[in-house]
Amino acid sequence: MFKKFFQRLKFKMMAKQLRRPSGMMGGKVGSMMNKANEFLYDFTLDVMQPANNDAILEIGFGNGKFFDKMFSKAEGVKITGLDFSETMLYAAKENNKEAVANGKLSLQFGSSDKLPFPDNSFDKIFCINVVYFWDEPIVHLKEMQRVLKPGGRFYATVRTKESMLKMPFTKYGFSFYESDNWKTFLNEAGLIFIEEKPVNEPVVEFEDNKISVQSLCVVAEKKL
């Protein structure tokens, strides 16, 4: 009985840290996410295809280890990052001192349901492993619609519900949206659903189990 109790406690804490990493444990979670999620960053950048001089917003950047990948894809790209974890904001600033100092990268504190940016600011917005924590997705998506430039695109990369349910911590406060949900939400937020790109990830290890994981990137566009 005690074993089960402590295991539940551990998974609850893990879920809370993944939602909003904090303190020393948050720092460790940031490094763990880098290992687990680099594949999804490469995949999302392949789908997104940054173009020269794009203004790009990333929501929920974790410790910001992968901004360099974006700068290497095109010339003159300007990136803004927004995260509501003080711990991740601090770590990302430490990890990207040069890009921040030379003005290529701006890192800000805030939540995606109330974006601190003017209308029509970005060519592309993306987030990876973030929408599980959106309790009211339409509120967040309306904000994406507002700050995207006309014709700009939104990319949300997530692991599928089936894959996530193989990891026991996802029982605690994670939401999963499937194709039909996405189409409805995007439509209500005034965005056009473009496509859903699937990908099979390399096998992931979780507590000595090897888990096969499918992910996908949902792509939407703001009307011209």
Ligand X SMILES: C[S@@+](CC[C@H](N)C(=O)[O-])C[C@H]1O[C@@H](n2cnc3c(N)ncnc32)[C@H](O)[C@@H]1O
Q: Tell me: does residue 15 bind ligand X (CB under 6 A).
A: no
Q: Tell me: does residue 88 bind ligand X (CB under 6 A).
A: yes
Nearest to 82 by CA among 55, 98, 62, 54: 62
Closest separation between CB of residue 224 and ligand X, Å? 27
User: Quick count: other Cβ atoms within 10 Å of Cβ 207?
Assistant: 8
Instruction: Identify the DSSP state of 117.
Output: S
Rounded Cα gap, residues 224 and 222, in angstroms: 6
Strand partners, 109: 83
Closest separation between CB of residue 62 and ligand X, Å? 3
Residue 67, both tokens: 């901004």
Q: Tell me: does residue 112 bind ligand X (CB under 6 A).
A: yes
Nearest to 9 by CA among 162, 130, 171, 148: 171
Nearer to ligand X (CB atom), residue 75 or residue 94: 94
State how beta strands 148-159 and 214-222 pair: antiparallel
Q: Tell me: does residue 37 bind ligand X (CB under 6 A).
A: yes
Nearer to ligand X (CB atom), residue 85 or residue 95: 85
Nearest to 132 by CA among 92, 164, 155: 164
Is residue 48 within 8 Å of 155, Cβ to Cβ? yes
State the binding string over 129-148 for ligand X (x if CB under 6 A, else -): xx--x---------------
Instruction: Identify the DSSP state of 153.
Output: E
Binding ligand X by CB under 6 A: which of 14, 15, 57, 59? 59
Instruction: Find the part of the chain contacting ligand X (CB under 6 A) among 45-53, 128-136, 147-155, 189-197.
Output: 128-136
Nearer to ligand X (CB atom), residue 26 or residue 152: 26
Closest separation between CB of residue 173 and ligand X, Å? 11
Q: Tell me: does residue 191 bind ligand X (CB under 6 A).
A: no
State how beta strands 122-128 and 55-59 pair: parallel
* Closest residue to ligand X: CB criterion: 60
Nearer to ligand X (CB atom), residue 2 or residue 59: 59
Binding ligand X by CB under 6 A: which of 56, 77, 99, 128? 128
Question: Which residues does 144 contact at the CB level (< 8 Å), separation at least 6?
Answer: 112, 115, 125, 154, 189, 191, 220
Closest separation between CB of residue 21 and ligand X, Å? 6
Binding ligand X by CB under 6 A: which of 84, 90, 172, 176? 84
Kindly list the residues in this chain that would bind ligand X in the complex (CB under 6 A).
Answer: 18-21, 33, 37, 59-62, 82-85, 88, 111-112, 128-130, 133
